Structures are given as C-alpha cells and as structure tokens.
Structure 1
Amino acid sequence: MLCPRRTKHCFLLSLGICTAVYIYLKANIQLYFTAHPKSESSRPFPQYCRPFMPRQGAPWQMRDCLSENYFTTKKPNCSRIAEELHFITAPLSREEEEYPLAFIITIHKELELFMRLLRAIYAPQNVYCIHVDGKASQQYITIVRQLASCFPNVFLATTREKVTYAGFSRLKADLNCMEDLARSSIPWKKVINLCGQDFPVMSNLELVRYLQSKPWNGTNMTPGVKQPSPMKYRTQIQYEEINHSYMAPKGKTYTKGSPPHNLDIYFGTAYYALTRPFVDFVLRSTVAKDLLEWSRDTYSPDEHYWVTLNHLKDVPGSHTRGKWEGNIRAIKWKDQEGTTHKGCKGQYVRDICVFGLADLPWVTAKNSMFANKFERRLFPEAVDCLELWHRQKVLQQADVLIQPEWHLATSKVSNQTLTEPATVDGRG
C-alpha cells in the first residue's frame, strides 16, 4: 500500500484527485459539445453556394434544421429553439444595442422564407411586429404564433387585415403594427417595413450606421417625388377591393375630390424607415388621419401616403426636399432592364424579378438595405446562398465572442465553424 499509516489522509487525497478529474472532464466534455454542437441538418450543404463561403474548396455541411417540418412534426421547445434554429441571441456590438430598431413584417405565404427572414434580421435589442394576412390558413397562423411566442420581442399584430394587393388593407396592416409598436417599452429609434419575400443585404450593424448617416440621422426615409401625371389615375377615381383579391375602379363617374388640407400628393415606394416621433405624428395627427380616410378608395395608397406626409413642414423627421434618395431595396424592374441592371436571371413576376442564383452578385454589389423579391418555390438556391453569405458577414463584423450555434454551416474537415469574411465571385 502507498500509505498504510495514513489511510484517512490517503482516502481524502484520492477523493480530491477524483473530484478534480471529474470536474475537469465534465467541463471539457461540456465545452466540447458547446464548441461542436450536434448537427441537426435537415438538408445537405448546397454545393452551388461554395463560391459564397469563406474557404474555397473546403468541404462544408449545413447545420440548419429550420423548416416548416420543424413545427409540424414536433412541439417546439422554446428553451432550445433559439439554439436549434441558430438565432443570434445577444447584441453583437454596443452600437447596435444603443440603437434598437423596429420591424413590421407583413406575410401571407412562403412560411419558411419568412422564418429565414426573421432569423436573418433578429437581434434581442430590436422589436418585431408580424402581420399575418387574415386569409392565411389556421396552420400557417399557428406556426407563426408558435415561433413568435418563443421570443419576448416578437409578436403578432393585435388587429389583422385581409390584405389585397395595392389596396387600402395593405396600408392598414402597417398602421395596425404601428399602433402596437407605439406601445412597446423597447426604445426603438426607427421602424422598417418588410414583406415576406424580402431578405436583408445589410447586416444589422450596417443598418444602424446607415440610418444614422447623413442625411438620415433623425430623418425619415421615404423615397419618392411629386405625383407624376402617369400616376394620377390612382388618386383621381375611386377604387374598391374585390373579394380581398384585387383592386378595380368603381367607374368613371366615381371621381375623387381634392386631397384634404390642400396637400400635394407625392408618389414613391411602399417601403420606408421612419422615426418614432413621425410614427406618433401619423397615429395622432388630424392631417394624417384625414389623408388616411381620403386614401381609403385610392389605388395602392401605401405608395403615396408615407411620402406625402414626409414632405410636410414641421413634421418630425420630415424630408421636404427628398426625391428618390434612400437605398432601401435592391429590385430589378423589368422596364429598367438595360439601364440599372442587365436583366433578370430568375423570373419576372408582375414586372419584378424573382431573384435566381445568378442575380446574387448584382444584389450583394448593390448593397441595399434589403432585396426583393425571393421565392423558395421557384429559386430556393438564391435564398440558401444569400442567407449563408449574410450570416457570415454579420458574424465577421461582431464585436463579441461568437457562439458556435450562431453559425449556419461548419467545415467537415475540422468540425469547427469558420469565420473568414465571405466573398461572391462574378458580376451581374
């Protein structure tokens, strides 16, 4: 025996060594599985995304299990959902933490695309209002509600609309979310509206910096100009929503009166970045409410409502001399082919390009806040690759320790996540 005369001391020494070894092994086993989380991949790594990944030629594997099946095949566990679906759960910089954003997302289809959009833009300091179309199926609504319930800063709009393309209901959907966001305790600085077929190009950090740069620091972004003659038909005759499906003129005899308060009507995009004081103005001002009521039977009122109000003097954050400034969306319009872009590599739908894989170099080079539009049903590879590229950029810019579960892909060789900045080959 090693210590026959000191049995008690020997036992205590051995116990101490065993305890230390147990603690060491437990810590390192735990660390190993934290550093190398079990892959729950539901799809192979798309080889066509290799040009978007940091190390050219390195074998990769997807770690992503986000899909509709995740919610339909089992009951989601909220305590694990952020980790399993690779949501970023901490502010990535002090800049972002001190400038929280609000998002309004209106959706009616492409459920998985919406979930990927939310994951791409999610940050715990921000707040997200989701407006689900009143025509959506109960299963669709249930899945969105399940996902939202797992995050304290994500919620469904209190009031839902049956949205018609180019109808008043589309404008009302945004306003319903604004009512909810105005009551939020999160001190958001600006609100950005999205649809379910958008996807981010800028990181959250880039959004924060862009929205605070000149001339947007404290200013609303509503690209548009005074209503041109070809667009005046939208507000000169009355329109109505037909079966929550499409807009139709009531007839030539149903003409509209002049805008309230002698307002000059402007024409612009339906997308914006608005300050919180401006949102408060919209919700309380008599001028804003009168314009809203006048716009009820116009065509696509969201394309004149925001930009018209933003051109009024003495309105919070107004941009009275603004025109088409504001890099809000990368969109390939069919009538701009040959001027602003070299054609749609995917497919035109309603004269807007649904992006294919070959459109992504143009999208990323343009570096707008967001790109529109995407459809996984038509071109899933475009979403897959842009998502991988965007997440690599987000993590590469972070000022904090990156958690392993925040990565969407891993290297098969090292079984570790790689963090070099992503690149895109080619030009559109």
Structure 2
Amino acid sequence: MICNVFTQSIKRKYLVLAFVLVCGLTIMVSYYKPISHRYMFLPDTQVANLNFYDQNVISGFVFGKGTPMAVSCPLLLSGNKQEMLVAQSFKRTTRIPSFYYSYLAKNCSLFKSRRNYITSSLTLEEEQFPIAYSMVVYKDVEQVERLLRSIYRPQNIYCVHLDNKSEPEFRETLTEITNCFQNVFVSKESLDVRWGTMSVLEADLICMHELWKYKSWKYFINLTGQEFPLKTNAEIVGILKNLNGKNNIRKSVLNRWATRWEKAGKAPAGIIPVKGDLQIAVNREFVDYVLHNKTAKKFLKWCSKTKVPDETFFVSLHYNKHLKIGGSYTDDQGNSTDPPYITRFKTWEGTAKPCHGKYVRRVCVYGVGDLPLLINRKELFVNKLHLDFEPLALDCLEETLYNVTRNEYFQTLEGNGPPKHT
C-alpha cells in the first residue's frame, strides 16, 4: 500500500510538471511569431545573459540612462589611470549571438525597439541632408550591427557588401537585419575581398552603383566593419555642409610609390597617379564621374594592372585637377583652400601618433587607453576597433555618441538649434 501511495505521488508530480510545461510553451507560442526550434529552447542562463546585455547595457547608452558597466566611461575619457587598469583587464564573457539577432529580426518593430534604433531624423537640418554609406563587412555580426545602429537615420541610405567568403550564418543574419529597413540593403553582387587586389575597390564601386539610383543623398562615405563614428549624425551633416561641395580625400606625401604602377604603363588621359587612402567623403558629382565618365572607366582598367589599386583610383581622380571633377583639388601650388582630411582617423605603426592598443598589419587597433585621444579628434570616423580586444573602448565611444546625440536633440527642442561646426 505504501508503494501504491508513493507511486501515485510521483505520478501526480509528473502530471503537474507536464501541465506547467505545456502551459509555458502555449504562452510562448501565443506571444511570439513562429520561430525556428533553435530559438525555442535556449538555456535559461543564456536567455538571462542576453536580456541583461540587450535591455540594460545597450539601453544604458541611449539618451544617458546611465553606465551599467564595471567602469566609468567619463573617467576613462578623462584618462584616469586606475580606471584604465580595470578596463584593460576586463574580459567580456557574453557576446550577442547571431541567432538572437535573427530571432529579433523576425519582428522588425521589436528589433528596432529592443536594439534602440533612432528612427527619427531628429532635426530638419539632418532630414534635408541625407548621406549614402557603403559598408564592406565580412565578420562579427554584433560589431557590424552596432556600427549600423550608430549611424542609422531614416533619411540616409545604406548599402552593405557582404564578403563572399563570410560564414553563411553571418550573411543570413545581416540580411535578416537589413530586411527590417527600407533604406538599408545588401548589395546584389558579392565579392571575395582580398587586400591589395581590385576586389577592395570593386566592393565600394558595387555599392556606389546601387546607391546611385537614390536621388536624395548629398555625400557618399565608405566604411568597413571595424570602424566607428566619432561624431553624431548631426555633427557629420554640419561638417559635410561646411565642405561646401568639396570632396575629402587624402594623398600620401611620400614619393616612394612609383613601383606600384611601373608594370601598368602610362596612365590614360594625362593622369598622374597618386597614392592615398581608400576612405573618402565625396559629393554626388564625384560619384557620377566615377561611375559614368569614360576617362574614369579607362583609368579604372589601368588601375587593375597596378598594385593596391584601391589606394590609387579615387585619390588620383581627385588630385588631377585637369579632369575638372566637381569638388576636387584645384591648386597644386600650395595655396589651396581645400579643407584638411577629416574622413578617417587612423594610426600607422612607425608614426608619431600614439597607439595604446595593439598593431595588426601595421594599423593600430585602438584600446581604452586611446579614448582620451579619440574623443577629441576632428575626424568623422575611427579605424579601427575590434570588439574582442578591450571591448570597453567601443562601449564608451558608443555611450558618448548617444549621450551627445541626446544633448543635441534637447538643445534643438529648447530652440537653441543644432551645434555649430567649424
């Protein structure tokens, strides 16, 4: 008899447990849209970590809700040495996985809300000055998505080139994210981008072609997945407007690059090759020339025979004044009123600029020790940051960006207008 009572007790416990599980699953299914089985049975600890990161850490960046981190970003930005030591030893154990982005992106309103996208133009000046962006990316969904979020405004246009060699999960997840926005799209063509080859240049050209059909944008800026803005959208707009239609492209002052072009023969149309940066901020007329002018097409073909053509094509078109491209360099006598290069901040190994992070392929990957420098730079974007190296550097830049955006917005609401740019 004791055995029967014991058996019945166990059965009742299992029945209650089964009832609770059925009810729980029923609530989940009724609340969420149908989702893949891989999202249905996340471990409780993983869900808790994701919810904390998504709702607390990230929301903390938006409009100054606080800094729910192990360090103080204001102290890091001020160069506090003790806080630097804490930040440099910090190791992030939880990253936002691809499947969580995919899960959120199944409900675009939920995705934009939970990821705190700014879905307003915020100011009339920003609304009337749309910017076109190309984003050439190949890895790290979280870092790429946070870059997109940091520059996103509904009036801008974004072309994302997904590297052909990227992992399928990376490609699928970013495609799902871009599908949540009418003004963000993945390029139709995808290349295997390799440094030093035409593919680096061609990836941007692919996006230029696809962005050209959008008639509203004023300037084009090209980005990669390891970059991040140092200025808010309102600041970028103000700075670009102050260019007065001029393009912003940098050339190298060193005269040691002729060996890159020696096997290509003489450049067409009297063009004198120049070495410079791939990163540009250019007006529509420059993009029109690149895409449709016969001389530009001939020069592109010539560049395909050179070494590292992406560091020759744009900059040479810009600095050959006889081409008469609107907004390009006009005076080689040293009297030019062209503005200084503000498109990108980058530190090369062997230069006088400090790097408190680490060098990868001779380019500085900035760390928390570089924050006091970065926060005071005049450039629009920084290259580069790695989320798996001293991640609080990116976190604090992101927090600062959103807090400055908040201040700009409230300043506009109070009738003081957006900040002035010099």
- Give the TM-score taking structure 1 as reference length: 0.72
Please tell me whether residue 389 in structure 1 is matched to residue 389 in structure 2.
Answer: no
Report how far residue 269 of structure 1 moved.
Answer: 0.8
Q: Do the aligned residues in 2 keep the contact of 1:103 with 1:128 (CA within 8 Å)?
A: yes
Please tell me whether residue 285 in structure 1 is matched to residue 293 in structure 2.
Answer: yes
Q: Which runs of 5+ in 1 are unaligned?
A: 1-38, 55-63, 237-254, 403-428
> Residues of 2 paired with 1:391 and 1:53: CA distance?
17
CA pair 232-154 structure 1, distance change in 2 beyond 3 A: same
| SS of 2:158 mapped into structure 1 | strand
Q: Do the aligned residues in 1 keep the contact of 2:99 with 2:173 (CA within 8 Å)?
A: no
Please tell me whether residue 367 in structure 1 is matched to residue 378 in structure 2.
Answer: yes
AA matched with 2:260: R
2:107 is matched with: 77
Deviating 4+ runs (over 6 angstroms): none
1:192 is matched with: 221
| Mapping 1:212-291, distance limit 5 Å | 212-213=241-242, 216-225=243-252, 228-236=254-262, 255-291=263-299
> Residues of 1 paired with 2:244 and 2:110: CA distance?
38
> Residues of 2 paired with 1:97 and 1:232: CA distance?
44
| SS of 1:116 mapped into structure 2 | helix
Please tell me whether residue 326 in structure 1 is matched to residue 334 in structure 2.
Answer: no
CA-to-aligned-CA distance 1:364-385 (integer Å, 9 cap, x gap): 1113100110111122111111
Report how far residue 41 of structure 1 moved.
Answer: 2.7
Report how far residue 83 of structure 1 moved.
Answer: 0.8
1:32 is matched with: none
> Residues of 1 paired with 2:148 and 2:162: CA distance?
14
AA matched with 1:298: T
CA-to-aligned-CA distance 1:127-178 (integer Å, 9 cap, x gap): 0000111111111111010000001000011211110012110100000001
| SS of 1:131 mapped into structure 2 | strand
2:314 is matched with: 306
| SS of 1:397 mapped into structure 2 | helix
| SS of 1:119 mapped into structure 2 | helix
> Residues of 2 paired with 1:259 and 1:352: CA distance?
30
AA matched with 1:77: N
Q: How many residues align?
A: 331
Report how far residue 233 of structure 1 moved.
Answer: 1.5
Deviates more, 1:369-378 or 1:392-401: 392-401
RMSD of the TM alignment (CA)?
2.6
> Residues of 2 paired with 1:132 and 1:183: CA distance?
20
AA matched with 1:100: P
Q: Do the aligned residues in 1 keep the contact of 2:76 with 2:371 (CA within 8 Å)?
A: no
> Residues of 1 paired with 2:150 and 2:96: CA distance?
12
Q: 2:193 aligns with which of 146, 155, 163?
A: 163
2:85 is matched with: none
More helix by share: 2
Report how far residue 297 of structure 1 moved.
Answer: 2.6
Q: Do the aligned residues in 1 keep the contact of 2:267 with 2:299 (CA within 8 Å)?
A: yes
| Mapping 1:87-98, distance limit 5 Å | 87-98=117-128
Report how far residue 283 of structure 1 moved.
Answer: 0.8
Report how far residue 310 of structure 1 moved.
Answer: 1.3
Q: Which runs of 5+ in 2 are unaligned?
A: 1-49, 58-67, 78-93, 414-422
Q: 2:237 aligns with which of 198, 208, 214?
A: 208
1:357 is matched with: 368
> Residues of 1 paired with 2:241 and 2:376: CA distance?
21
| SS of 2:260 mapped into structure 1 | helix
AA matched with 1:271: Q
1:30 is matched with: none
| SS of 2:52 mapped into structure 1 | coil
> Residues of 2 paired with 1:281 and 1:335: CA distance?
36
| Mapping 1:4-15, distance limit 5 Å | none
> Residues of 1 paired with 2:146 and 2:51: CA distance?
16
Q: Do the aligned residues in 2 keep the contact of 1:40 with 1:65 (CA within 8 Å)?
A: no
AA matched with 2:346: I
CA-to-aligned-CA distance 1:351-407 (integer Å, 9 cap, x gap): 1111111111111111310011011112211111111111111121115899xxxxx
Q: Do the aligned residues in 2 keep the contact of 1:65 with 1:85 (CA within 8 Å)?
A: no
> Residues of 1 paired with 2:176 and 2:75: CA distance?
32
> Residues of 1 paired with 2:223 and 2:274: CA distance?
21
CA pair 386-111 structure 1, distance change in 2 beyond 3 A: same
> Residues of 2 paired with 1:191 and 1:399: CA distance?
28
| SS of 1:308 mapped into structure 2 | helix
CA pair 42-76 structure 1, distance change in 2 beyond 3 A: farther
> Residues of 1 paired with 2:155 and 2:410: CA distance?
15
1:135 is matched with: 165
Report how far residue 40 of structure 1 moved.
Answer: 4.0
CA pair 98-72 structure 1, distance change in 2 beyond 3 A: closer
AA matched with 1:203: T
AA matched with 1:165: W
CA pair 75-114 structure 1, distance change in 2 beyond 3 A: closer
Q: Do the aligned residues in 1 keep the contact of 2:348 with 2:364 (CA within 8 Å)?
A: yes
Report how far residue 82 of structure 1 moved.
Answer: 0.9
AA matched with 1:361: P
Report how far residue 200 of structure 1 moved.
Answer: 0.3
Identity across matched positions, percent:
32
| Mapping 1:44-55, distance limit 5 Å | 45-51=68-74
CA-to-aligned-CA distance 1:74-104 (integer Å, 9 cap, x gap): 6631122111100000011111001100101
CA-to-aligned-CA distance 1:314-342 (integer Å, 9 cap, x gap): 21222233689211222222111xx3x3x
| SS of 2:341 mapped into structure 1 | coil
> Residues of 2 paired with 1:287 and 1:399: CA distance?
48
Report how far residue 223 of structure 1 moved.
Answer: 1.2
> Residues of 2 paired with 1:52 and 1:294: CA distance?
51
